[in-house]
Structure 1
Amino acid sequence: MFKNLFKHSLRAMNRQKGYVAINVLGLAIGIACSLVIILFVVHEVSFDKFNEKGDRIYRLVLNGKIGGQELKVSSSASPMGPTMLREFAEVEDFVRLNSWGQTILKNGNQSFIEKDFVEADSSFFNIFSIPLLSGEKKSVLNASHTLVLSATTAKKIFGQENPMDKLLKVGDDTVMYRVTGVMADVPETSHLKVSVIGSFMTNKRANDNEWTSNSFNTYLLLKPNTKAKQVEAKIPALLKKYVGPQILQYLGLSMEEFLAKGNRYDMNLQALEDIHLDPSIQQDMKAPSDPKYLLIFGSIALLIIVIAAINFMNLSTAQAAKRAKEVGMKKVCGSSRGMLISQFIAESMLLTTIALVFAILIVELAMPYFNSLLDAELKIDYLGSWYILPGLLLFSLIIGLFAGSYPAFFLSSFNPYEVLKGKVKGSMKNGKLRSLLVVIQFTISIILIVGTSIMFRQISFMLKKDLGFNKEQLMVITRAETIGDRITAFKDALNKIPGVIKVASSTAVPGHGNNNNSYMMEGREQETFLMQTVWVDYDYLETYGHKMISGRFFNDDFATDKDGCVINESAVKQFTLVTPLTTRFITPSEDVTKKEYMPVIGVVKDFNFESLQSRINPHVFRFKKEGFNWGYITIKVAPKDMKKTIAGIEGVWKEFTSNDPLNYFFLDKDFVRLYKEERQNAEMAVLFAILAIFIAALGLFGLTSFAVEQRTKEIGIRKTMGASVFSIFFLISKEIIVLVTISTAIAIPVAFYIGNSWLQNYYYRINLGVFDFVIGFGIAIVIALATISYRTIKAATANPVDSLLYE
Structure 2
Amino acid sequence: MNNYLATYLKIHKGSSQQTVKSKIDDLTIKYIGPEVERFMGMSLDQFKQQGSRFGYTLIPLTDIHLHSNYQAEIEPQGDIQYVYLFSVIAAFILIIACINFMNLATARSAGRAKEVGLRKTLGSLSSHLVTQFLAESFVFSFLAAVLALGIVYTMLPFFNTLAGKELVFESLLSSKLLILLLGIVVLVGLMAGSYPAFYLTSFRVTEVLKGKVREGMKGGAVRSGLVVFQFAVSIFLIIATAVIFQQMRYVQNKNLGLNRNNVLVLSNTQHLRSGAEPLKQAMLTQSGIVAASYSNSIPALNTEGASPFRIEGSEEDHLVVRYFADYDQLETMGYSLREGRYFSRDFPADSSAIVINEALMNELGWKEAVGKELFGFNRGGRVPYKIIGVVKDFHFESLRNNVRPTAMFLNTGAANYLAIRFSNNPRETVSTIESLWKQYAGNQPFEYSFLDQDFDALFRSEQRLGNLFTTFTVLAIFIASL
Deviation of the 1:395 alpha carbon: 3.7
Change (3 A) 1:657 1:693: same
What is the aligned partner in structure 2 of residue 781 from structure 1? none
* 1:325 paired residue number: 114
Aligned equivalent of 1:191: none
Report deviation, 1:660.
5.0
**Residue 547 of structure 1, CA deviation:** 1.4
Show the counterpart of 2:3.
214
Aligned to 2:83: 294
Q: 2:286 aligns with which of 475, 478, 497?
A: 497
Larger Rg: 1
How far apart are the structure 2 equivalents of 1:393 and 1:597?
66
1:652-671 matches, within 5 Å, as 652-658=436-442, 660-671=444-455
- The answer to whether the aligner puts 1:431 opposite 2:220 as a matched pair is yes
CA 1:564–1:358: 2 relative to 1, 3 Å:
same
Counterpart AA for 2:387: V
Query: Cα offset for 1:553?
Result: 0.8
Match of 1:601 among 388, 395, 414: 388
Residue in structure 2 matched with residue 610 of structure 1 by the alignment: 397
1:682 — aligned with what? 466
Per mean C-alpha deviation after superposition, the further-off stretch among 629-638 and 675-684 is: 675-684
| Alignment of structure 1 residues 274-313 onto 2, 5 Å | 274-282=63-71, 284-313=73-102
Please report how far the alpha carbon of residue 499 of structure 1 lies from its aligned counterpart in structure 2 after TM superposition: 2.1
Deviation at 1:667? 1.4
Q: How many residues align?
A: 482
Does the CA-based 8 Å contact 2:283-2:433 persist in structure 1? yes
Report the 3-state secondary structure (helix = DSSP H, G, I; strand = E; otherwise coil) of the residue aligned with 1:600. Answer: strand
Which amino acid is the alignment partner of residue 672 of structure 1? D
CA contact (8 A) 1:511 1:611 kept: yes
Using structure 1 for the length normalisation, give the TM-score. Answer: 0.56
The one of 230, 252, 277 aligned to 1:441: 230
Q: How far did residue 541 of structure 1 move?
A: 0.7
**Superposition deviation, residue 448 in structure 1:** 1.9
Distance 1:550 1:416 in 2: 89
Compute the displacement of 1:293 (Å): 1.8
State the alpha-carbon separation in 2 of the partners of residues 431 and 340 from structure 1.
22
1:697 aligned to 2:481?
yes
SS at match of 2:420: strand
* Residue in 2 that maps onto 1:797: none
| Larger proportion of helix | 2
Alignment partner, residue 428 of structure 2? 644
Instruction: Give the superposition deviation at 1:388.
Output: 6.3
Deviation of 1:619 after TM superposition, in Å, equals 1.0
SS in 2 for 1:214: coil
Which residue of the partner structure matches residue 411 of structure 2?
624
Aligned AA for 2:150?
L
Which amino acid letter does the alignment assign opposite residue 509 of structure 1? I
Unaligned stretches of 5+ in structure 2? none
Distance of aligned partners of 1:430 and 1:356 in 2 relative to their CA distance in 1, 3 Å threshold: closer
- C-alpha contact (below 8 Å) 2:129/2:201 kept by paired residues: yes
Q: Report the AA paired with residue 419 of structure 2.
A: T
Letter in 1 for 2:360: A
Displacement of 1:463 = 2.9
TM-aligned CA distance change 1:551 to 1:431, over 3 Å:
same
- The 1:480/1:237 distance shift into structure 2, 3 A limit, reads same
Give the structure 2 partner of residue 511 of structure 1: 300
Equivalent residue of 2:8, what SS? strand
**Structure 1 residue 391, shift from structure 2 partner:** 6.1
Alignment of 1:394-793 (within 5 A): 395-426=184-215, 431-518=220-307, 520=309, 523-524=312-313, 526-577=315-366, 580-592=369-381, 596-626=383-413, 629-638=414-423, 641-658=425-442, 660-698=444-482
RMSD: 2.8
Structure 1 pair 473–388 and aligned structure 2 pair: CA distance change class (3 A):
closer
* Conserved 8 A contact 1:501-1:637: yes
Partner Cα separation in structure 2 for residue 522 and residue 383 of structure 1: 57
CA distance in 2, matches of 1:320, 1:487: 83
Could you say if the C-alpha distance between residues 538 and 314 of structure 1 is closer, same or farther in structure 2, counting changes exceeding 3 Å? same
Q: Is the 8 A contact 1:498 1:645 kept in 2?
A: no
TM-score normalised over the length of structure 2: 0.90
Measured in 1, the distance between the counterparts of 2:218 and 2:3 equals: 72
1:519 and 1:585 in contact (8 A); partners too: no
How far apart, in 2, do the equivalents of 1:501 and 1:271 lie? 46
CA contact 2:102–2:196 (8 Å) conserved in 1 = yes
| Aligned counterpart, 2:154 | 365
Larger RCO, structure (CA 8 Å, separation 6 or more): 2
Deviations 1:656-715 (A, max 9, x none): 2336553222212211222333332332222111111111111xxxxxxxxxxxxxxxxx
Displacement of 1:581 in angstroms is 2.3
d(CA) in 1 for partners of 2:48 and 2:171? 57
Contact 2:163 2:468 in 1 (8 A): no
Partner of 1:63: none
Query: How many Å apart are 1:551 and its aligned residue?
Result: 1.5
With over 3 angstroms needed to count, the CA separation of the structure-2 counterparts of 1:578 and 1:252, relative to structure 1, is: farther
Q: 1:409 to 1:525 in 2, by over 3 A?
A: closer
Cα offset for 1:538?
A: 1.6
Q: What's the secondary structure of 1:691's corresponding residue?
A: helix
